[in-house]
């Protein structure tokens, strides 16, 4: 494959994806809008970090969120602003700079192994929501693996980690994941304990 052919194929894929969204064939996964609303109500800062084209991201969110959704996010990074694709951590590092927050204060949401690798390389606690192509995969290093964010009337199915009493992903659960990661980092290593 030549660079020109790769670029042409990517542009064609982007156009097909955008058409699927516009035609109503693709929507947000269950629980995404609820969790975004909950995070905003809690005053959490939000960022988007994707290897997808920004035009695809904007089309998806324009079709599924209220006008003005762009104002919800302190940073929006895509392959248009950060050419290095996941598993490179570059897009996450750019989003963290935009947020002006350390990785220890943030959680990444991913659905692929390359995404997990990128997030973990950026030192982010990571929640995986699987889909039909990734539901049978293992995600070592993820803090939580579920089949989605779930909702009160449709709990998510847990594959790895602990949900707690809610049975769906909430801001309270995310805070517990961050707290747990902080406590884990503070533990002395076996090597340090023996020194």
Contact 128, 139 (CB under 8 A): yes
How many whole angstroms separate alpha carbon 190 and alpha carbon 67?
Answer: 52
What is the average per-residue pLDDT within 177-182? 89
State the CB neighbour count (10 A cutoff) for residue 137.
Answer: 13
Q: Which helix (H) or strand (E) holds 22?
A: helix 3-22
Residue entry with tokens 């959704």: 69
Residue entry with tokens 């590092």: 93
Dihedral of alpha carbons 67, 71, 73, 79, sign: positive
Confidence (pLDDT) at 185? 66
Q: Which helix (H) or strand (E) holds 105?
A: none
Is pLDDT of 184 > 90?
no
Contact 31, 150 (CB under 8 A): yes
- Residue 193 pLDDT level (bands cut at 50, 70, 90): very low
Buried b (16+ CB within 10 A) or exposed e, 110-132: bbbbebbbbbbebbbbbbbbbee
- Express each pLDDT in 52-87 by its tens digit: 889 889 999 999 999 999 999 999 999 999 999 999
Who has greater pLDDT, 148 or 24? 148
Q: Give DSSP secondary structure letters for 62-92.
A: HHHS-TTGGGGEEEEE-TTT--SPTTSSHHH
Q: Which helix (H) or strand (E) holds 154?
A: none
Confidence (pLDDT) at 187? 56
Is pLDDT of 190 > 50?
no
Percent of the chain with pLDDT over 70: 94
Q: What would the two tokens of residue 45 be?
A: 């800062």
Who has greater pLDDT, 184 or 54? 54
Pairing assessment for the beta strands 73-77 and 107-110 based on DSSP bridges: unpaired
Confidence (pLDDT) at 192? 35
Confidence (pLDDT) at 195? 29
- Residue 165 pLDDT level (bands cut at 50, 70, 90): confident
């Amino acid at each position: 494959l030549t660079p020109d052919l790769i670029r042409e194929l990517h542009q064609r894929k982007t156009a097909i994806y955008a058409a699927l969204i516009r035609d109503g064939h693709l929507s947000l996964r269950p629980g995404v809008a609820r969790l975004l609303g909950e995070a905003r109500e809690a005053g959490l800062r939000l960022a988007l970090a994707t290897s997808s084209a920004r035009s695809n991201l904007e089309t998806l969110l324009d079709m599924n969120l209220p006008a003005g959704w762009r104002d919800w996010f302190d940073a929006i990074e895509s392959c248009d602003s950060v050419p290095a694709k996941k598993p490179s951590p570059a897009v996450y590092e750019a989003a963290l700079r935009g947020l002006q927050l350390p990785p220890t204060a943030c959680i990444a949401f991913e659905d692929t192994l390359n995404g997990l690798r990128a997030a973990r390389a950026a030192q982010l606690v990571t929640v995986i929501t699987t889909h039909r192509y990734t539901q049978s995969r293992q995600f070592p290093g993820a803090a939580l693996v579920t089949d989605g964010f779930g909702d009160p009337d449709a709990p998510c199915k847990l594959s790895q980690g602990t949900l707690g009493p809610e049975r769906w992903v909430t801001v309270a659960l995310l805070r517990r994941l961050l707290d747990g990661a902080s406590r884990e980092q503070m533990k002395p290593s076996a090597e340090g304990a023996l020194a």
